[in-house]
Amino acid sequence: MTLTAQPSRALQGTIAVPGDKSISHRALMLGALAVGETRVSGLLEGEDVLATGEALRRMGAEITRHQDGTWSIWGVGVGGLKEPETVLDFGNSGTGVRLMMGIVAGHPITATFTGDASLSKRPMGRVITPLTEMGAHIHAREGGRLPLTLTGAERALPITYPLPVASAQVKSAVLFAGLNAPGQTTVIEPAPTRDHTELMLKAFGAQVATEEGPKGVRVIRVTGEPELKACTLAVPGDPSSAAFPVVAALITPGSDITVTGITLNPHRSGLYTTLIEMGADIEILNQRQEGGEPVADLRVKASELKGIEVPPERAPSMIDEYPVLAVAASFAEGKTVMRGAEELRVKESDRIAATAAGLRANGVKVEDLPDGMIVEGRAGTVEGGGHVATHMDHRIAMSFLTLGLGAQKPVTIDAGEMIATSFPDFTGLMRRLGAQLESGANA
């Protein structure tokens, strides 16, 4: 189904966005590897996370949703997963499949991983390489793509692995495989990435040490063969999901909204730092700690933005937010330069190419670079009127619906059903703020 965003009146109201997707995946996974009952509130119930839960059930974990919306996971202990009898289907979830490959690599079992057409195009080689070093045997399609079959190590080998490119997914896969290896498994990352895995491993009782090296290098060590202990977790709001109503409020005149309970983990908050540098009126309220994560409410008012040069080293802390940042940049005065984001080329789509094409379709000049883009802002007046190809990418879809709310003419995306992978109630929530989003016929 197509979706069309009409130019909007001022957005008003207080909302809570879904639970953080990255934390939700990890809560299910570590709950399944712990001993006892792990209780989780605020879990994102999007398709990606539900696929992770189903995969864990097929390997022996008991996972139940209660009527009050909380979840219970009865774990099997580190090394206790059983071989699944059927293929593990991760749909559109790159995080789910890569992290689960790490978990299975530390078990002497065989599992076959698959996904939808989009996920099957994404390269898995950067996870396959370290997991093979740890003793796993992996047979994949040409180019290291899904579907693939992974046989875990009889006795996983602890390794020291320098990441060629900063990636929280690869880091986490190696650390998860190292849970069932003797001694210490070490990951060296060239730049800091989101640290939800390290924080949550500690919450479950694992020994994790982190050292800061020169020039932003981080060294993370996990001691293998722990007995993880079940715990109670509250999943905070997802800053990547909050990005869409936040940018919509910034670019829609007269808007004043509050988004509650967002994690502002410094490895995830790069977008908000950047928007504030661009002149965004974002007030950080009620700062607190929940489940080891820094959490706050955000009050956001419509703002006149100015183009800036985004520091390339900030890219890992906002890698999923570049498409919606490009939308904000199109309403700014002057150029916004974004570099250091080459990973966008191998996300659910080539997000650099898809974002640039969508902006051009709506009257915005943009130069796409190998590792980012340069957007020429329209100083608050974006023509709109474009029809945008999403390439079945949920973040491209939501970004250009956001653009349509502040544009002069409606903006239509060719498909919106994949939004449910990360933000099932996106259209409902935006409508409650006053956005006009209309469903159409198939493109």
Question: 441 with 2: CB under 8 angstroms?
Answer: yes
Specify the DSSP class assigned to residue 395.
H
Cα 121-132-138 angle, rounded to 5 deg: 50
Question: Cα 98 to the chain's mean position, in Å?
Answer: 13
Question: 229 with 204: CB under 8 angstroms?
Answer: yes
Closest to 418 (Cα-Cα) out of 186, 92, 117: 92
Residues forming the annotated binding site? 21-22, 26, 94, 122, 167, 169, 320, 347, 351, 395
Q: Specify the residue for token string 């399944």.
A: 32
21 vs 74: CA distance, rounded Å: 20
The CB density around residue 296, as the number of other CB atoms within 10 Å, is: 20
Specify the DSSP class assigned to residue 304.
-
Q: Specify the residue for token string 């020291």.
A: 160
Q: Is 44 helix (H, G, I), strand (E, B) or coil?
A: coil
The answer for residues whose C-beta is within 8 angstroms of residue 129's C-beta and 6 or more apart is none
Amino acid 331 reads F
The CB density around residue 333, as the number of other CB atoms within 10 Å, is: 14
Residues forming the annotated binding site for 3-phosphoshikimate? 21-22, 26, 167, 169, 320, 347
b/e code 122-151 from CB counts within 10 Å (16+ = b): bebebbbebbeebbbebebeeebbbbbebb
Question: 73 with 61: CB under 8 angstroms?
Answer: yes
5 vs 435: CA distance, rounded Å: 8
Residues forming the annotated binding site for phosphoenolpyruvate? 21, 94, 122, 169, 351, 395
Out of 320, 368, 393, 414, pick the active-site residue: 320
Do you find a cis peptide bond into 370, omega within 30 degrees of 0? Answer: no
Which ranges of 362-425 does DSSP label H, i.e. alpha helix? Answer: 394-406
368 belongs to the catalytic site: no
Specify the DSSP class assigned to residue 69.
S
**Joined tokens for residue 428:** 């409902």
Amino acid 264 reads L
Percent of residues in the chain assigned helix, strand, coil, to nearest 5 = 35, 30, 40
**Joined tokens for residue 433:** 């703020």
Q: Which residues are catalytic?
A: 320
